Chain A
Amino acid sequence: MAHLSLDPKKIETCRKLASSIARPIEGLIQAHTTIAIERATLRLLGVNGAVTRNGQYYPEVNAIIDTLHKAGVLGQGVLHWFANGMIQKKMSAAELGSAVARGKVDLLKLPRAPEATVRAKARELCEQARDLLVERREQRDGIRRETRDTFDPEGKNGPLLYVIVATGNIFDDVIQARAAAQAGADAIAVIRSTAQSLLDFVPHGATTEGFGGTYATQENFRIMREALDEESRKLGRYIRLTNYCSGLCMPEIAALGALERLDFLLNDAMYGILFRDINMKRTLIDQHFSRLIIALSRIVIHTGEDNYLTTADAVENGHQVLASQFINERFASHAHMTENLMGLGHAQEMNPEHPNVFLLEIARAQMTRDIFPKAPIKFMPPTRHKCGDIFYSHLMDAMFNFVGVLTGQTIQLLGMATEAMHTPLLQDRWMSIKNAKYIFGGAKDLGADISFRPNGIIEKWAEKVLDETVAHLEMIHGKGLMKAIEERAFAEVSRTETGGKGHDGVIVRAQGYLNPFFELL
């Protein structure tokens, strides 16, 4: 594989800056919990039912946490109340959860067992939950072995063919996903319905009506994973499943994704902050807990830096992407994630009419590969400059595939000729997979057979972006991450520390906050 000669000292500087940028946030994470973390905690213990409210499902965990939050007692952690409840009522977590959610038991009115007993009970519950997560992980790894799994995080086996389904109806999604797998896709993402990230609860059950995507629910995860297991066995090739773990329910989606054996999760607080206007404190704190679950379950995350290039010009703002990747890398390792789980995201989004655009795109893709050699880099296709001319659009995807295979990207989200029109039809996906197979096969070893001319256009561009990244990280370091976001450090979007959705779900941890998951995961 050809490499760029980037200055390792500059890369080292970036990593150092990123870790000092992340440090104050890590302090913030340590000092707070959120309603979503507490809900996820209960979900991990097995409280996954729902009550009916106004004719709709409302999760039990929401009913329970709403009450405790209103009473202002969540600073001690839900387990402080819930583990005591289980002792007093001699009920399982699921039984107690159901009873509390239906107003049959009031956790705050129960007698209290001795503190040490409650703590021991909480620890025992969390250990069992952790064991279950490990069991689910091993089950998943078993199916990977049983079928055939060629995934290599470093991209040595060529880019993984990754496509999305987004019909809005989980049963139609299954048809589309199976078809994609048969056509050659290795990974399927079920796109979430518009604005699910703004819901402060996870919808319940199988769903058939979504906009621009399908609701992420535990049951939908299960239905799709079951179909893909079957398809993997039939094809003798393991098919991965992806969903979206961002927004107000980040930790819960991580919990449900882990329980339902998902392989990939899009997981990035920055995406929620910039593109969904989710409060930054809330989502950064949530992200940490979600990543603890993800690390244990060895799910590969995808970060969302690629999106920056839809609102900020891609030729000029490569440094924003790279700077954010360094910060994301730091947050991930703070949550015990190893590099092989960090699917850092970037995209081929430059204006196709820019002179020498492919040289610049190759520079960006290659430097991403070289700077994060062990990470399963996620490479996103052109979208912003896609237009109704589907033939031109198909060509743009072909060049994107060429850059991907040349530079050894790990996870290649295939572009769709109809990107500017609609979420993909069966034939759009089929055509796009055919495109990718042709190019990935035909240029398989090209990267290993060439080298980059020292001081050539590609090398120079990479160096320029790296220099700009150092400067950008220095600026962010000077201001602090939150202030920098306010001043449009990323994606030309401004957000404030207390603005956005979900801020009222952030809770200061009280002395003795009880949540053994923070030690066990």
Chain B
Amino acid sequence: MSGETGPRKVNLKKLRPYGDIMDDGTVQLCFTLPVEPSPEAREAAVQFCQKMGFDPVKVATMEKAAEGFSTFVIYGNTKFSVDFTAIKVLKVDAQKRAREEIDEIIRTRIGRKLVVLGACTGFDAHTVGIDAIMNMKGFAGDYGLERYQWLDARNLGAQVLNEDLLKRAVEAKADAILVSKVVTQHNIHQRDLKDLMARAKKQGLLEKMIFVAGGPRVTHPLALECGFDAGFGVGTKPSDVASYIVEEFLRRQGVSLDEAKPKAPARKKGKKS
């Protein structure tokens, strides 16, 4: 008898993975070692997990995936924990608003359409992500930027070279540039994103335009690291992006939207990580 009177509560100062008992630290792992299955291979897998801080380590299976390769499924219990209360994540700084509200803000506070150019750059041919943000139809029931009355949204499609994108942006006097990157092998996405920003900097465009990156492996911190103003990842909706653009545009004019909040009820801060 442990003398417990109810379910154990989570300790946020020492957060651990949960299996079926609070704080059990259970983790499921799967990996391959480039050696034939053997008792030694199994032991190697166990030691490897121990070095990662797992104890005990239970090898659920060791399979011969091919000659000279064993694939393992393993359960281990970790002794490590993290202090959840001390965690800080950089998030896109914008309040989430609805399309009508955003249009209204632009109409009343800016008085002209904001020009937004979108493209999937480099040799990346994936258009579905940028289309989801830009095209009328939008994504997950949220209309795309083309649908906004007060945005002049132009989708340049895929395989757009960085230098062409900037040229088009200058010609169009763009207020915001949206870049999609999907292929990430060998970090090609980061290379392309950084290259764009280096060019933009050289041309003195950083202050004139808002640079937004997006894609399934893009995060806000990663975008910042590449020199962008904001980054959006999996599941982004067009209104998330529009909310950010309008707020950032006004922020650069020295206007904070918080003071002159229109009638809409206060909502949670947009949380994109």
Show the binding face of A for B, using Cβ within 8 Å.
168, 178-180, 182-183, 194-195, 198, 209, 211-212, 275-277, 310-311, 384, 388, 420, 422-423, 425-427, 430-431
Contact = CB atoms under 8 A, between A and B. Distances in A.
A198 B159 contact: yes
Interface in B104-157: 122-125, 127-128, 131, 157
B65 A310 contact: no
A275 B125 contact: yes
B185 A388 contact: no
Given A277-B157, A425-B32, A427-B32, 10 more contacts: A179-B66, A182-B67, A194-B188, A211-B185, A212-B183, A276-B159, A277-B158, A422-B184, A422-B185, A423-B185
A72 B65 CA distance: 56
Nearest to B183: A212
Interface in B1-50: 30-32
A277 B159 contact: yes
- Residue in B123, B128, B184 with the greatest tally of chain A CB atoms within 10 Å: B123
B52 interface: no
Contact of A179 (B67, B125, B183, B186): B67
B270 interface: no
Nearest to A179: B66
Given A194-B188, A198-B159, A212-B183, A426 B123 contact: no
Interface size class of B (residues with CB under 8 A): 20 to 34
B225 interface: no
A194 B66 contact: no
A276 B125 contact: yes
A168 B184 CA distance: 12
13 contacts: A179-B65, A194-B124, A194-B183, A195-B123, A211-B185, A212-B188, A275-B125, A276-B159, A277-B157, A310-B128, A426-B71, A427-B31, A427-B32
Nearest to A387: B234
A183 B66 CA distance: 6
Contact of A426 (B32, B124, B188, B216): B32
B19 to A, nearest CB: 16
Contact of B185 (A168, A198, A384, A420): A168
A472 B183 CA distance: 33
A360 B248 CA distance: 46
Nearest to A210: B185
B222 to A, nearest CB: 16
Contacts of A310: 128
A211 B188 contact: yes
A426 B66 contact: yes
A166 to B, nearest CB: 8
A310 B71 CA distance: 32
Contacts of B127: 311
Contacts of B63: 430
A209 B250 CA distance: 44
Interface in B88-107: none
A388 B159 contact: no
Contact of A430 (B65, B122, B124, B185): B65
Interface string B161-199: 000000000000000000000011110100000000000
A134 B32 CA distance: 42
A93 B270 CA distance: 66
Nearest to A492: B131
Contacts of B131: 311
Contacts of B32: 425-427
Contacts of A180: 66
Contacts of A426: 32, 65-66, 69, 71
